[in-house]
Chains A and B, each alone.
Chain A
């Protein structure tokens, strides 16, 4: 599903590589956690995968759903089935969640030359998802993410995830700034979406979210490289001993 080969990337027009040769392979249905200390490049990796124009790929390849997507714009990556749940979802004045998601689905159906959903069909689908995720319907009437609390913003990301039904969902520090209840609600939403043909990348600093969303694999990213991979026990080890042990064992 996703195959990252020797991926190197930097901020556009800078000379400092942030990702220094990432290799990662993800199969359908797998949940991979990417952990690492601050500044290790976790969020950069998430954003580069989603195609944020602030970054440029200087070497390596990203293959997703049998396409080499290095040059694909973000909207096309979305159509192929990639979804990024943002660490800091943008507040967008005057645009309502419903309206954006209708456009999203319409674009996707257009891309695959499929019939668009009628307003009635979409409304029914949307309302059901809002109910499933447990979002206050008052919020959905507001401008996107405007005046939403941290928890509400993240829940709203999960709503989008559940409506767009991606093949690969990347959760970029979705746990940051959430209290236990919000974290649980968000995790429940994600777990509902787990299936044999849908994969997840959970980018996180802390092990905490992995208590709720159990990963199949855990990768430790330090200074732009994956320095260690393992199973969920690796995350528990980080929780107990911190990143220092791993970093010092690298001899750097």
Chain B
């Protein structure tokens, strides 16, 4: 197995050669860029990684993954449903054996491109290598990039993209890479779920997913980051939206040791709309960063960011919400909000909602809050016979419920409610009452 130690990048050799020339170009450029900069921090990107400490990550010897089999019928705790078509990415490799989807979905590996060959020219154009070191890292180390195209369908379309870490024996680093084109007029629910099933402590997972939304598409993006609390996880979703497209996203993050959810949409076609809503839960010594940004490139688009955080123990969370309204993007509506529930005196949230506006006819707002357990709410519940511990759990769950309900799918909601109920008892609540 091929070993990687990110602090000694000069000793590394490029793992893969791709037959498609565009994919190969991205791979080469990624390699060039990453081997030059190495891991953050670097002067040019210091603001992006202000709160992330890469020191431990640099010192770990990782291995590139090998193909593994996964049995979806195993009772592994992975979300699956008969109502969803499913694409499995196991330890960085697409597994066509266990994936299943209907005729209006095409999935092709980058080395076997045929029908989706034309998509490859956009590969790396939405998630750009020069944006940051970790996108470059993914581009350099990806082993099995896949292309997905979704056409309009008569029936309700539910697609579940499952990204798994399963290797128990080794410190695995995997670099899932997807390019998803949603074709004109299609309406689809896309679940993007990450599960860390590995019992091994040190895993690195860096997924990069590019979305190209053609005209009049409607995507409900439902994201679940279900970490065991140990891994290094950096996810980059990059969305390009054309005219009258909608990308309505709801995210649920159980933090890893060091994790980042980084999503950006470029509203590049008029009358398009983008919502990024989400919940993050951090505990112990975990860090969850949320880098949530939207570019209003043209007029008459709207966007809404609404994140909620639950923090316990000595954990940290970052919400960095950015909205850029370019010159000429008149009649823009853009809203940002980040609300945090701090359960311990040692946890910390750094919240930075920011608006950068170069147009003059816009409606924008931003805000952030951080609060503790509310004594009056707690007493209210206790006076109804609910003990202190249960009352606290109820308030924590209640805070999360608003976002969970936005998933709008009964099976997912039930799944997330069970997950949060399981994780609440382990939250380190201290020194706040």
Question: Which residues of chain B from 359 to 390 have any CB-CB distance to chain A below 8 Å in the complex?
Answer: 374-377, 379-388, 390
What is the minimal beta-carbon distance from A61 to any residue of chain B, in angstroms? 20
Query: Which residues on the A side are within 8 Å of B381 (C-beta)?
Result: 92, 95, 100
Q: Is the CB of A107 within 8 A of B401?
A: no
What is the size, in residues, of chain B's interface with A at 8 Å between Cβ atoms? 24
Q: Is the CB of B380 within 8 A of A78?
A: no
Give per-residue flags for B388-430: 1 if the beta carbon is below 8 A from chain A beta carbons, else 0. 1011001101111110000000000000000000000000000
Closest to A163 in B: B384
Main SS class of interface, B: helix
What is the minimal beta-carbon distance from A50 to any residue of chain B, in angstroms? 5
Give per-residue flags for A39-60: 1 if the beta carbon is below 8 A from chain B beta carbons, else 0. 0000000000011111000000
How far, in angstroms, from A52 to B390 measured CA to CA in the complex? 17
Identify which of A86, A91, A95, A107 contacts B385 (C-beta below 8 A): A107
Q: List 17 A-B contacts (CB under 8 A).
A: A52-B379, A73-B387, A74-B383, A75-B385, A75-B391, A77-B383, A78-B384, A83-B383, A90-B380, A93-B402, A95-B381, A95-B394, A95-B397, A100-B384, A100-B386, A107-B386, A164-B385
How far, in angstroms, from A83 to B398 measured CA to CA in the complex? 23
Q: Which residues of A are in contact with B by a Cβ distance under 8 Å?
A: 50-54, 73-75, 77-79, 83-84, 86, 89-95, 99-101, 103-105, 107-108, 111, 143, 160, 164
Give the total number of A-B pairs whose CB atoms are below 8 A apart.
Answer: 88
How far, in angstroms, from A90 to B395 measured CA to CA in the complex? 12
Question: Which residues of chain B from 225 to 252 have any CB-CB distance to chain A below 8 Å in the complex?
Answer: none
Q: Top 9 A-B pairs ranked by shortest CB distance?
A: A94-B398, A94-B401, A78-B385, A74-B382, A90-B380, A95-B398, A104-B384, A104-B385, A90-B377
Identify which of A53, A78, A93 contacts B375 (C-beta below 8 A): A53
What is the minimal beta-carbon distance from A183 to any residue of chain B, in angstroms? 22
Which of B380, B381, B391, B395 has the most chain A CB within a 10 Å cutoff?
B380
Q: Is the CB of B390 within 8 A of A103?
A: yes
Q: Is the CB of A94 within 8 A of B377?
A: no
Query: Which residues on the A side are within 8 Å of B395 (C-beta)?
Result: 92, 95
Q: Is the CB of A143 within 8 A of B398?
A: yes
Which of A75, A78, A143 has the most chain B CB within a 10 Å cutoff?
A75
What is the minimal beta-carbon distance from B308 to any residue of chain A, in angstroms? 10
How far, in angstroms, from A177 to B398 measured CA to CA in the complex? 28
Q: Is the CB of B386 within 8 A of A103?
A: yes
Closest to A103 in B: B386
Identify which of A54, A92, A143, A164 contacts B380 (C-beta below 8 A): A92
Which of B381, B383, B384 has the most chain A CB within a 10 Å cutoff?
B383
Give per-residue flags for B266-287: 1 if the beta carbon is below 8 A from chain A beta carbons, else 0. 0000000000000000000000
Query: Which residues on the A side are within 8 Å of B384 (C-beta)?
Result: 75, 78, 100-101, 103-104, 160, 164
